Structure formats: structure tokens, C-alpha cells
């Protein structure tokens, strides 16, 4: 990857922010390193810009599904056994564990967000848990994921804005007082944890401003354990 200047990154942000639903998918959100002119981290420039323009997130529209968010065919069996989608496999392993320390009972995995095929291309919520008060929308990353923590945060938050929150509580028979929390769920030994250990000021401020919770995952004695990150 070539080094970009800060004005070039700002220009990319301004252009991409015309479609905030797809913003998290932009290549520059995953850029690591620093600009050639100001020597600032790319992710810090992006996070700083978004902090100053939080109103941009109001441009993300809710998609209400006609059918239930609760998919009856989800039985904890990987449909495509030749799939190399490691995150889906991990999500199903977590589903079988049934309960995760700190984040509660595993309700479902791969929760669809689209209503009809023509809806903008968007992913699925990897995993969803409930602890009696909070519903966690977990954006799961595999241990060797190269995505930045910024990308993880923006993806989780975007999904929470697309989601019809009232409907998902109804579909899973949860109290309407339930707080819905978008959360990256990344491995403790992964690049995202190292990124946060480097104390990124603007990214940390953005995480707090968006009320994002980060959880770190590790395997101990063949069981997944969860540690609260921020």
C-alpha cells in the first residue's frame, strides 16, 4: 500500500460519507500505518473526522424485515461443510457452548438484516447473546483477521442502525426495556487487541461516543472465554 497524505484520506472520507451504510466497507477504513505528510495513523484521522461529524450516522436507514429475524432453520449445523468461512464456524461453536461468560446466553448466529434481495448489500450479525438486561450484537472476527478495530467498530455500529430494534426484541421475545449493544468480538491474541494496546486516542473517543463495547475472546481448556475490553 502506498502512503497517502492526510488531505487524500480526508477527501476519501468525505466522498464515502455520502453513503454511510457502506462506509465501513471502504478500503481506507482498513489502512494501517501513517500518512506521508503528517505521520498520523490513518485510523486516527478517520476516527477523528467521524467524531466531529457524528450526525453522519443518522443517514443510515433502518431496514425492517417482513419475516422474522429469528431463523427457524438455524440448528447449529454448518450448512456448507466445505465452507472456509472461519468466522461462521466459530459462531456455530459458540452457539453450541450456549452460554458465554460476561455476555450471557447465545440466542442465534448469522442473523439476517436484509428484507428483500434488492436491499443494499449488507452482512449478517455474526452472533447475538442476551444477559438478562442487554442484547449484544456481536461482530466476530477470526483470530488472524487483518481488519482494523475501526472497521470492526463501524461494522457493528452500522448493523445496529440498520436493525429494526423493536422488531428484533419482539421476534426473540425479549423485554422492550432491553438495551441493544453493538460489540466487536475479537480474539485476545489478534491484531485488533494490539491496536487498542497502542492507545489510539481518537478511536477510543469514537468507541465511547458510539457507546460501543469491545469484548476479547480466547480459548481456555477447550471453552471460549470472554474478557471485557474497554
What DSSP line would sit under 156-207, residue for residue? HHHHHHHS-HHHHHHHTT--TTPEEEEEEEEETTSHHHHHHHT--HHHHHHH
Q: Give yes or no for a contact between 69 and 168, defined as CB atoms under 8 angstroms apart.
A: yes
Residue 73 CB partners (closer than 8 Å, separation 6+): none
Q: Closest Cα partner for 157 from 174, 173, 138, 142?
A: 138
Q: If pLDDT is split at 50, 70 and 90, which confidence band does 82 have?
A: very low
Mean pLDDT of 21-43: 96
pLDDT tens for each residue of 173-225:
999 999 999 999 999 999 999 999 999 999 999 999 999 999 999 998 888 99
- 58 C-beta neighbours (distance < 10 Å), count: 9
Alpha-carbon distance 176 to 159, whole Å?
A: 19
pLDDT tens for each residue of 56-71:
999 999 999 999 999 8
In the prediction, which pLDDT does 114 show? Answer: 85
Alpha-carbon distance 193 to 187, whole Å?
A: 7
pTM for the complete prediction?
A: 0.93
Grid cell of 5 as nine digits: 497524505
Alpha-carbon distance 66 to 167, whole Å?
A: 10
Alpha-carbon distance 215 to 230, whole Å?
A: 8
Alpha-carbon distance 21 to 62, whole Å?
A: 10
In the prediction, which pLDDT does 131 show? Answer: 96
Mean pLDDT of 129-154: 97
Alpha-carbon distance 138 to 94, whole Å?
A: 12
Range in 2-16, 23-37, 103-117, 167-181 the model is least confident about: 103-117
Amino acid at each position: 500500500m502506498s502512503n497517502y497524505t492526510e488531505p487524500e484520506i480526508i477527501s476519501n472520507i468525505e466522498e464515502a460519507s455520502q453513503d454511510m451504510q457502506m462506509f465501513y466497507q471502504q478500503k481506507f477504513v482498513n489502512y494501517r500505518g501513517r500518512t506521508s505528510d503528517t505521520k498520523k495513523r490513518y485510523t486516527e484521522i478517520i476516527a477523528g473526522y467521524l467524531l466531529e461529524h457524528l450526525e453522519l450516522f443518522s443517514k443510515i436507514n433502518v431496514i425492517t424485515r417482513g419475516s422474522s429475524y429469528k431463523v427457524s432453520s438455524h440448528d447449529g449445523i454448518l450448512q456448507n461443510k466445505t465452507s472456509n468461512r472461519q468466522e461462521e464456524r466459530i459462531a456455530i461453536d459458540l452457539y453450541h457452548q450456549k452460554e458465554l461468560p460476561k455476555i450471557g446466553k447465545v440466542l442465534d448466529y448469522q442473523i439476517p438484516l436484509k428484507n428483500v434481495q434488492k436491499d443494499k448489500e449488507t452482512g449478517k450479525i455474526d452472533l447475538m447473546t442476551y444477559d438478562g438486561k442487554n442484547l449484544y450484537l456481536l461482530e466476530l472476527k477470526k483470530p488472524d483477521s487483518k481488519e482494523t478495530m475501526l472497521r470492526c467498530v463501524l461494522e457493528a455500529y452500522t448493523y445496529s442502525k440498520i436493525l429494526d430494534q423493536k422488531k428484533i426484541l419482539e421476534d426473540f421475545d425479549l423485554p422492550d426495556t432491553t438495551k441493544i449493544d453493538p460489540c466487536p468480538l475479537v480474539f485476545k491474541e489478534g491484531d485488533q487487541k494490539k491496536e487498542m494496546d497502542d492507545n489510539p486516542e481518537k478511536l477510543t473517543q469514537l468507541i465511547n461516543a458510539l457507546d460501543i463495547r469491545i469484548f476479547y475472546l480466547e480459548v481456555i481448556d477447550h471453552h471460549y472465554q470472554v474478557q471485557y475490553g474497554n
